[in-house]
Amino acid sequence: MGKPTGFLDYNRVENPAQEPLERIRHFEEFHPMLDEAERRRQGGRCMNCGVPFCQSCVQLGGMYAGCPLHNLIPEWNDMIYRGNWEHALSRLTKTASFPEFTGRVCPGLCMAACTCGANGEAVTVRENELALIEYGWEKGLIQPRIPSVRTGKRVAVVGSGPSGLAAADLLNRRGHSVTVYERFDRVGGLMMYGIPNMKLDKKIVQRRVSLMEREGVKFVTNADVGRTISAEELRAQFDAVVLCCGASNPRDLNAPGREAEGIHFAVEFLRRNTKSLLDSNLTDGQNISAAGLDVIVVGGGDTGNDCIGTCVRHGCRSITALEMMPEPPQERAPSNPWPQWPRVKKTDYGHEEAIALFGHDPRRYQTTVKEFHSDETGHLCAVTIVSLAAKRDEESGRMQMVPVEGSEETLPCQLLLIAAGFLGSEGYVSEAFGVERNLRSNVQTLPGHFATNVEGVFTAGDMHRGQSLVVWGIAEGRECAREVDEYLMGYTCL
């Protein structure tokens, strides 16, 4: 423990953010780093507590607390404070495959469980992690790790999101020959086309992919396994197949008028925007533009927030975000104590930008769409919304959100984005390989394992656990790689 009184001596200082009205002019990242002296002080705030919940990942109150990767957080925080960046980096990369991703987009399960947060402000764990990995890249410490011996075993990974890349990274490091198949034109899956550029610059994704290529991983893009490439072909060519196709089957809205033009799923909206941005800086007309439109976003999670931030950058005329559930409290409720994940109201970057631009919070709680209205050309022109109230169902005893009679209101809307979550993975890949799925459409395995019912076929990530976080995808990919290695070799050293 570098400074025993650090958590008392130093206040929490986060990376600064460019002002909302400035950053909405571009799609670049907008959080400059702290200087080295301040970052060392932030590392010194770590208490090196006897029971580090930050790295524990235990289930409390139905939710996980702490990092799913079990990152050695107190160790590298201590090393940051002491200025021993190289040692800190070695401890970070022992458990974390892609700190440059999680350091940007992870909500910070570690920070929610930080002991400093029990009676004060948590350590800036995520930003310390990001500073470490970027130091490594800047100083040339991140170099290709090419296996000295190849096993002769071949593995196909279907999907290049967080879980697919993590599995491919470890399996290649072990000495297996790994080929990753991606159905779109760029590698990265969710991190390339599901997360906007201002949140995760795509040059950061490509930097890691290029490193993996130099280490021996082969990437095949525009390869839609289950359609353009058959499952039989992969199973014949490879000793094992790992399915990491995500949970990209979006939940729809079933309301009258749904056929109107101008209603899109959030994942399609974000993907097309990022592709057009990368291809032509939004000049090719292939994105779904919100410029000059009244926009409604249905769904209050990270995806909904990303839609708000993107629409504001397009120059939308107005934006409203509908959330079915009640407004969360500003502070933890007594039933939600530390170190559980705090179920509190979060105002994210997109909300901040909408507030700065339009002068009010775009979110409307306990509200949903009742009806879509279209003009004479069939294009969406307005939406009728309705308030919701919690009511207990007499048969099941469960609380349900039901419409409040007489609370209807019609809002102008020419673009509506559905960010209401996902129903699981798309079925065609699972069907092609003949793997079983559970009632939630996730690929079925034994609890705690990654092997499917089909010999030599494994699964990981959102396709396995359902829609989740990047950090969980990476954790699953690493654990799956260990199981695949044991299957191929009869033992594992991963």
pLDDT digits (tens, 9 = 90+) for 37-50: 999 999 999 988 88
pLDDT at residue 247 is higher than 80: yes
Same domain as 414, residue 270:
yes
| CB-based contact 229:237 (threshold 8 Å) | no
**CATH classification at residue 427:** 3.50.50.60
Same domain as 281, residue 225:
no
Same domain as 279, residue 389:
yes
Same domain as 193, residue 132:
no
Residues 252-304: tens digit of each pLDDT: 999 999 999 999 999 999 999 999 999 999 999 999 999 999 999 999 899 99
Same domain as 333, residue 290:
yes
Same domain as 86, residue 56:
yes
Same domain as 131, residue 216:
no
Residue ranges making up the domain that contains 129 = 6-138
Residue 144 lies in a domain: no
Residue 110 lies in a domain: yes
Residue 310 lies in a domain: yes
Residues 158-195: tens digit of each pLDDT: 999 999 999 999 999 999 999 999 999 999 999 999 99
Residues 149-158: tens digit of each pLDDT: 999 999 999 9
Residue 434 exposed, middle or buried by CB count within 10 Å (0-12, 13-18, 19+): exposed
Q: Mean pLDDT over residues 408-437, rounded?
A: 95
Residue 445 lies in a domain: yes
What is the model's pLDDT at position 264? Answer: 98
Q: How far is CA 76 from CA 55, 90, 101, 337, 354, in A?
A: 12, 9, 18, 27, 37
Same domain as 340, residue 239:
no
Q: How many domains does the chain have?
A: 3
| CB-based contact 365:328 (threshold 8 Å) | no
pLDDT at residue 440 is higher than 90: no
What is the model's pLDDT at position 394? Answer: 81
Residues 20-76: tens digit of each pLDDT: 999 999 999 999 999 999 999 999 999 888 889 999 998 887 788 899 999 999 999
pLDDT at residue 101 is higher than 70: yes
Same domain as 431, residue 410:
no
Same domain as 392, residue 289:
yes
Q: Mean pLDDT over residues 332-340, rounded?
A: 91
pLDDT at residue 489 is higher than 70: yes
**pLDDT classification of 88: cutoffs 50, 70, 90:** very high
Of 418, 448, 468, the domain-final residue: 418
**pLDDT classification of 202: cutoffs 50, 70, 90:** very high
Same domain as 227, residue 203:
yes
Residue 107 lies in a domain: yes
CA–CA distance, 43 with 129 (Å, rounded to integer): 10
**pLDDT classification of 448: cutoffs 50, 70, 90:** very high
Residue 458 lies in a domain: yes
**pLDDT classification of 1: cutoffs 50, 70, 90:** low
pLDDT at residue 316 is higher than 90: yes
Residues 351-404: tens digit of each pLDDT: 999 999 999 999 999 999 999 999 999 999 999 999 999 998 888 888 889 999
Same domain as 267, residue 414:
yes
Residue 184 lies in a domain: yes
The whole-model pTM stands at 0.96
- Per the listing, tokens 């931030």 go with 309
Residue 255 lies in a domain: no
Residue 25 exposed, middle or buried by CB count within 10 Å (0-12, 13-18, 19+): exposed
